[in-house]
Structure 1
Amino acid sequence: MKSEFIDNRRGRGNTASMTMENKDIVERALAKLIETGDIDTLEPLLKADFVHHRPDSTSRTRAEWLAAARPVPMAEMQVEIRHMLAAGDHVVMYSKRRLPGAGPGIAVVDIWRFEDGLIAEGWEIIEPVAQAAVNFGWWKSRASP
Structure 2
Amino acid sequence: MSENDIAERNKEIVLRGFSEFAAGNVEILRGLLREDFVEHSPGNPSGRDAFVEFIKSSPVAGARLDLKRVVAEGDHVVLHYHMVPQGEGHGIAVVDIWRMVDGQIAEHWDVVQPVPDPGEIPNGMF
TM-score range, shorter chain: 0.7 to 0.9
Higher fraction of helix: 1
Distance 1:58 1:34, change over 3 A: closer
Displacement of 1:62 in angstroms is 1.8
Question: Could you list the runs of 5+ residues in structure 1 that have no partner in the other structure?
Answer: 1-12, 135-145
TM-score for the superposition, normalised by structure 2: 0.82
Higher Rg of the two aligned structures: 1
Give the TM-score, by structure 1 length: 0.72
The alignment yields a C-alpha RMSD, in angstroms, of 2.4
Give the superposition deviation at 1:100.
4.4
Using the alignment, how far apart are the partners of 1:58 and 1:41 within structure 2? Answer: 18
Aligned match of 1:17 in 5, 12, 16?
A: 5
CA 74–127 in structure 1, closer or farther in 2 if over 3 Å, else same: closer
Distance 1:96 1:51 in 2: 24
Distance 2:52 2:61 in 1: 16
Please show how residues 1-145 of structure 1 align to structure 2 within 5 Å. 13-35=1-23, 37-54=24-41, 56=42, 60-72=46-58, 76-130=62-116
Q: Percent of aligned positions with the same letter in both sequences?
A: 34
Secondary structure of the corresponding residue to residue 109 of structure 1: strand
Gaps in structure 2 of 5+ consecutive residues: 121-126
